Amino acid sequence: MPIVVKRPRLTLAEKCYFPALMKGLRITLGHAIRILQRKKKVTMQYPEVKWDDNLPEHYRGAPALVTDEHDRERCVSCQLCEFICPPRAIKIVPEEIPPGDEWQKVEKRPESFDIDMLRCIYCGMCQEVCPEQAIFLRKDYAITGVSREEMIHDKQKLYEIGGKREGLINKWNKLK
Amino acid sequence: MIELSELLVPAIKIVVLVFAVILPMVAYSVWAERRVSAIIQDRVGPNRVGIPFTKIGLAGLGQPISDGIKFLLKEDFTPGHVNKLYFWLAPALTMVPAILTCAVLPFGSELFGEKMVVADLNVGPLFIFAIASLSVYGIVLAGWSSNSKYPFLGGIRSSSQMISYEISLGLSLVPVLLIFGELNLSAIVEEQSENGWLLLPLWGEGAIWNGGWDRFFLFFPSLLAFIIFTTSIFAETNRLPFDLPECETELVAGYHTEYSSMKFALFFLGEYAAMIIGSGLIVTLFLGGWSLPFGCDAALMQMAGNPEQVPWWLGLIHISTFLVKVVGFIIFFIWVRWTLPRFRYDQLMKLGWIVFFELALLNIFITAGIIFLTRSPD
Amino acid sequence: MAVSKKSSEDLVNVQVDGHWIRVPKGTRMIEACKQAAAEVPHYCYHPKLTSPGNCRMCLVEMGMPPRPTPGEEAELDAEGHAKINWMPRPVIACANTVAEGMGIRTQSLLAKECRQGVMEFLLINHPLDCPICDQAGECTLQEYSVEHGNGQSRFLESKVKKPKNVDIGPRIRLDDERCVLCSRCVRFSKEVVDDDVLGFVDRGSHNTLAVHPDRKLENNYSLNTVDICPVGALTSNDFRFKMRVWFMRETKSLCTGCARGCNTLIGSREGKIYRQGPRENNKVNSAWMCDSGRMEYHRLEDPARLTDPMIKRGRTHNVVDWTEAICRAAKDLSRFKGDELAIIASGGMTNEELYLTRTLAESLEAGVVDVVKRSGSGDDYLSHSDKNPNVNGARKILKLRSPGSRLKLIHAGIAEGKIKALLVLGEDLLDIGFSEEELGGLKCMVLVHMIANPTAKMSTVVLPGAGYAEKRGSMINATGRLQRLNKAIDSPGLSREDWEILQGLNRAVDGKDEVTELVDVFGEMTSAVSIFKGLSFAGIGDLGVDVMDTGESVPLLEREAKRVRDGLIVG
Ligand code: SF4
Ligand code: SF4
Ligand code: SF4
Ligand code: SF4
Ligand code: FES
């Protein structure tokens, strides 16, 4: 059943636009005057004034990898984040942890882990999907660089941003 | 034998007018557009660019200069599929007519005995229409030579829109010319200065108490003409609410989609130049051009003593008056742009052909009738 | 409803989830359910292996019509079938066969609770290694636990620890914690490849899969256990941690390791192959393939792959574009006629390539055309002693009575100086008995190959070809079955599919100007080669068609057929 929406019958005043036009002009003028009188302040002068301390808990900045309290890289390169990442910003090459390594029992780790920050849309999907709680969106938002290469965060850079996160899952730390 | 001064004086006027007045005004109307739109939207707008290497911001007054430098330094990219000649010609064709038309606008009374108008033509409005209608070529050529669909559609829209509104633009002006009985813009302004502005007939012979009954009755047709003329100028300059040739939601950017760098800037500036000239024309015709209201001109002239020679300070006052009025109009243009939503194309055409065209036509007859009834034939 | 109420000679009526179907006598219940589109989850059951019924995942509710007392008529339902008495206990669907009038419920509360219970038991000691487990994404334990399991574990005690990352053979790693003890691998080793090295040790929760202490799981079919393992307990060293399965695109193709032509699935991502496994074809390879065949794809990763066409100028090879290379090759070759020119093709070429070789040989009037024989050791299962995948195609298309026999003539021709030009397709001559002095005497040698081998160094024109997974085409295997290769990835650099190169040479020689597709080449071939009459490239299908009778049979398939006849397996 199609829904029929009746066209409203316009009065003459409405038909000749003028009253509506004046109303519109009044509204915009009102805003302009309010901002000119400095009754309202919305914009922040960015590089001088920053809001870093007020960033909400759920703020989504640059994604980064974290290590656990034993400095073990949490990421086991399951590649779920690579799969889920909508703009395909993540590229992981997994490798086997060689025998003799302290964490050999984890078996797998990323050989390389690149996030292309030119592609990343800061959606947080990677953080959400990660089964190892290894990737988090930090509060860093000013990600800049002068070349494309610079904008690709490699593993080292990602750990640099991410740092250490204690607690969380402990599958690999208990008697195992 | 032409005297050197006969060449030199207009040349100085042109250079000063174009490079010291119009172009900076164009640049700063872009800045004004950004600032005004910002305050309307509760923002700040460009407020940082001031004097380089200092912390002096000057409320962002340096912005147009840095914008200009940016435009000049950007890659000037010509897509491979365009028709090169016309693609290059089009931006110039939009800018040139806009600047040409300012030749006949009287932007002041007199300064050191020189009339403040580049060319004191006695067919001023006709000249303006003739030149201004050329600017449609720039847009059509841009749309066509870009050889891509959005510019093409934008070009087509623009040409039909400009052609349609040119008619109401022209017709709405006829009553004004009837009232003044004059085609020389300087003379029209002088007349208004003495006998009351067209939309403010409150002194001189225009005032009702001085027997200006004709002007009283003619006020209403003038008002109508003013509304039609102003709206048509909006349409002619492709400004919102009539910016359909470049409306980004449908056409990306319309006719200048494929342009970059300075060529794009020329379109941009052309649009603003057209807006300034349009404002100037409205001010000249309806709001007394450079003249001060309520007969102040005459009073000041008396103060100066010499009735033949306009003193330099009064000349400057007149120029500033004109500029103030024009700036006021530009701000009005901007204000409207950030208030109204865009018309639909069919609404635009309907407004032009069914409403304004008829009204303007009717207005001519009404004006003629009033003039016939109230003014005794000489 | 056209269902007859009486069972006929070999069909029985079975009710699955309320619908009556007719299936052959002796069908396993699980297969009957499958036919009724009611898939029963299972771990230990595999149609090619015996059914020990040890995982209990396939439990369903079963019922039979009551046996009427003498003189009493069975009570009938609306459709005229005898009414079913449901049994209070579930039965396993994998090891039981259907009977007339039997009812099966796969979705009843009982069946569901059974599955839930089994899943819970299976997961009690499971490590949940999914993030590092290669099976994740194609793991039935994952799938079933989503479909049939509990969201939460009620098990609070410590899990039983078992050996992880155990080296049980050169190509396989075992993770005992992940093993669900289905014994598929044990049965495969014992029943299919007669290499009984796997078994279970310890009891209860500590029951563990182990390899014989003195032996390894190292037979040439060992990687099949990785395929059939429903979980990630057995993983392939070759594929281990290389790529997650959900990223891979699977291409149906063939193994070109020997004349068997095992059907394969190639898993690739972004132009790189990560694994190759068997694809079921009961006329060729059942559900298996050999380990060496799986590794075939590594040949495509040769660092010496040719990427650009080259022409030899003086002592060095210069990179040129394709047009120049093809024109040069065609010009050089057509300077020699008849006995001066020989073509050495390969039994590894597809039918289409061989056919284009034939037309090229005809227009160049080449004196001798032959392929190289390549035999190795075969075995009693799948691996064939003929290591060329398409000698039968060469036989038919190039009309060779005994392939490889004319190479002698070529040797002699070169020695006499009669043969001055050689077109070599996909072979390394120095590897098959030609010497450098011999080849040095040639005026012109054109090579189509994918690797920069020593022959390429001596060739005047080198045309880079594609590997088996980088091209399309068809081949005829040892038992005379025509099957299709498919393109899984692009060949590197500017290299091209071989049939395109040959087509280019053909066009350069005969001067015709037509664009052809691979299917057109096949179409042309159907009229030129009698065994392909009436076929089309698409008509070959995924499983191939028999086009020749070679009198050969597949030993593994014969034994499988016997086990089916004996009722041991479903097949
Ligand atoms: S999802 Fe987590 S564990 Fe998996 S690869 Fe990404 S960061 Fe590593
Ligand atoms: S935040 Fe989103 S876009 Fe960025 S890497 Fe993670 S999943 Fe990808
Ligand atoms: S076997 Fe399956 S459920 Fe177990 S860890 Fe591997 S993927 Fe996960
Ligand atoms: S290793 Fe795999 S196939 Fe073998 S018993 Fe365990 S789960 Fe079954
Ligand atoms: S599949 Fe039936 S018991 Fe395992």
**Which contacts of B332-335 are long-range, i.e. CB under 8 A and separated by 24 or more positions?**
B333/B234, B333/B239, B333/B275, B333/B279, B334/B29, B334/B32, B334/B33, B334/B36, B334/B37, B335/A25, B335/A28, B335/A29, B335/B36, B335/B40
Mean pLDDT of A79-92: 95
Alpha carbon of A37: minimum distance to chain B alpha carbons (Å): 11
Q: Which residue has the higher pLDDT, C566 or B5?
A: C566
| Chain A neighbours, 3+ Cβ pairs < 8 A | B, C
Q: Which CATH number is C3-117's, of 3.10.20.740, 3.50.30.10, 3.60.15.10, 3.90.110.10?
A: 3.10.20.740
Ligand 3 atom index nearest CA of C180 = 1
**For residue C244, which residues of chain A lie inside 8 Å, CB to CB?**
78-80, 83
Per-residue pLDDT tens digits for C249-282: 999 999 999 999 999 999 999 999 999 999 999 9
Q: What is the rounded distance in angstroms from the CA atom of residue C128 to the CA atom of residue A171?
A: 10
A114 lines ligand 1 (CB under 6 A): no
The most confident of A159-173, B228-242, C116-130, by mean pLDDT: C116-130
pLDDT tens, residue by residue, C307-359: 999 999 988 999 999 999 999 999 999 999 888 899 999 999 999 999 999 99
Three-state secondary structure call for residue C485:
strand
**Residue in A83, A90, A91, A152 to alter for ligand 2 test, most ligand atoms within 8 A of Cβ:** A90
Of A82, A107, A176, the CB nearest to C132: A107
Quick check: do C159-301 and C310-555 share a fold? no
User: Which residue matches tokens 């691998």?
Assistant: C185
DSSP structural state of residue B133 = T
Which of C43, C57, C128, C178 has most ligand 3 atoms within 8 Å of CB, for mutation? C178
DSSP lists the bridge partners of residue C368 as C342
**How does DSSP classify residue C25?**
T
CA A65 to ligand 1 centroid distance, Å: 9
User: By alpha-carbon position, which residue is closest to atom 3 of ligand 2?
Assistant: A120
Q: Is C141 in the pocket of ligand 4 (CB under 6 A)?
A: no
- Give the pLDDT score at C557: 93
Q: What is the pLDDT of residues B132-141, one digit of tens each?
A: 788 788 888 8
- Report pLDDT for B146: 84
In this predicted structure, the answer to whether residue C27 has a pLDDT above a threshold of 80 is yes
> Closest partner residue to A31 among B42, B44, B336, by Cβ?
B42
Alpha carbon distance C242, C244 (integer Å) = 7
Q: How far is it, in rounded angstroms, from Cα A24 to Cα A17? A: 10
More confident residue, B273 or C563: C563
- Model confidence at C502, pLDDT cuts 50, 70, 90, reads very high
Helix or strand or coil: residue B35?
helix
pLDDT at B378: 54
Are residues A27 and B339, on separate chains, in Cβ contact within 8 Å? Answer: yes
List C-alpha distances in Å: B88 to B153, B188, B371.
Answer: 19, 39, 49
Taking the centre of ligand 2 as the mean of its atom positions, its distance from the CA of residue A115, in whole angstroms, is: 8
Mean pLDDT score, B342-367 = 86
Calpha distance C435→C453 (Å, rounded): 14
Query: Fold for domain C159-301?
Result: Alpha-Beta Plaits (3.30.70)
> Is the dihedral angle over the CA atoms C435, C440, C442, C448 positive or is it negative?
positive
- Residue range A30-81, pLDDT digits in tens: 888 888 887 777 778 888 888 888 888 889 999 999 998 888 899 999 999 9
Separation of CA A34 and ligand 2 centre (Å): 40
Residue C130: closest CA among C116, C145, C149, C115: C145
Cα–Cα dist C280/C294, whole Å: 15
A80 Cβ inside 6 Å of ligand 1:
yes
Residue C130: pLDDT band by 50, 70, 90 thresholds?
very high
Residue of C130, C165, C246 with shortest CB distance to A131: C130
Band (pLDDT 50/70/90 cuts) for residue C24 is: very high
Tokens of B118: 């580049």
* Residue B241 preceded by cis peptide, ω within 30: yes
Q: How far is C155 from chain A (nearest CA, A)?
A: 16
Using the predicted structure, report yes or no on whether residue B123 has a pLDDT greater than 50.
yes
* CB of A24 shorter than 6 A to ligand 2: no
ipTM: 0.82
Average pLDDT over residues A109-125: 94
Q: Is the dihedral angle over the CA atoms C462, C466, C471, C475 positive or is it negative?
A: positive
- Among A21, A31, A40, select the one facing B40 at the smallest CB separation: A31
Q: How many CB atoms lie within 10 A of CB C26?
A: 13
Q: What is the pLDDT of residues B30-65, one digit of tens each?
A: 888 888 888 888 888 888 777 777 777 677 788 888
Cβ contact C–B (≥3 pairs, < 8 Å): no
Kindly tell me the burial class for residue A123, based on how many C-beta atoms sit within 10 Å of its own C-beta (0-12, 13-18, 19 or more): middle
- Interface contact A96-C164, CB threshold 8 A: no
A 10 A CB-CB count for C42 gives: 22
Between C466 and C7, whose confidence is greater?
C466
Mutate to test the interface with A, among C125, C126, C132 (most CBs of A within 10 A): C132
pLDDT for B94 beyond 70:
yes
Q: Hey, where are the domains in chain C?
A: 3-117, 159-301, 310-555
Measured from the Cβ of residue B298, the count of other Cβ atoms closer than 10 Å reads: 16
Q: What is the DSSP string of B274-295?
A: HHHHHHHHHHHHHS-TTPPSTT
Q: For residue C434, what pLDDT is reported?
A: 87
Counting every residue written for chain A, the total comes to: 176
Q: What is the DSSP string of C390-457?
A: THHHHHHHTT-SSTTTTHHHHHHHHHHT---EEEEES--GGGTT--HHHHHT-SEEEEEESB--HHHH
Q: CA nearest C84: which of C70, C98, C71?
A: C98
Q: How far apart are CA C553 and CA C560, in angstroms?
A: 12
How high is the pLDDT of residue C156?
Answer: 86
Atom of ligand 3 nearest to the CA of C175: 1
- Write down which chains contact chain B via at least 3 CB pairs under 8 A: A
Mean local confidence (pLDDT), C114-122: 93
Q: Of A35, A142, A45, which Cα lies nearest the Cα of B57?
A: A45
Q: How far are the Cα atoms of B174, B188, B208, B221 from residue B214, in angstroms, in the given order?
A: 17, 17, 8, 11
Q: What CATH architecture applies to the domain C310-555?
A: 3-Layer(aba) Sandwich (3.40)
Q: Please give the pLDDT value at position A175.
A: 46
Helix and strand numbers, DSSP H then E, in chain B: 15, 2
Picking from A10, A22, A28 by the largest number of B CB atoms within 10 A of its own CB, the best residue to mutate is A28
| 3-state SS, one letter per residue, for C287-312 | CCCCHHHHHHHHHHHCCCECCCCEEE
What mean pLDDT is predicted for residues A136-164?
91
Contact A80 C165 (CB under 8 A): no
- Residues in B touching A40 (Cβ below 8 Å): 42
Q: How far is CA B347 from CA B226, B241, B242, C549, in A?
A: 21, 11, 10, 79
pLDDT at C493 over 90: yes
Residue count of chain B, please give it. 378
Using CA atoms, how far apart are residues C450 and C256, in angstroms rounded to an integer? Answer: 15
The pair phi, psi for residue B305, each rounded to 5°, is: 95, -70
For residue C125, which phi and psi values (nearest 5 degrees)? -105, 10
pLDDT of residue C276: 95
At B225, the pLDDT band (50, 70, 90 cuts) reads: confident
Could you read off the pLDDT of B95-117 as tens digits, one per residue? Answer: 888 888 877 888 777 777 677 77
Tens of pLDDT, residue by residue over C379-428, are 999 999 999 999 999 999 999 988 888 888 898 898 888 899 999 999 99
pLDDT digit string, tens, across residues C179-197: 999 999 999 999 999 999 9
| CA pair distance B356, B375, nearest whole angstrom | 27
Question: Cβ A78–C244 below 8 Å, yes or no?
Answer: yes
Element (H, E) at C210: strand C208-211
- Selected for mutation to probe chain B from A16, A31, A42, A44 (highest B CB count within 10 Å) is A31
Alpha-carbon span C92 to C97, nearest angstrom: 10
Quickly tell me which residue has 């078996």 as its tokens.
A107
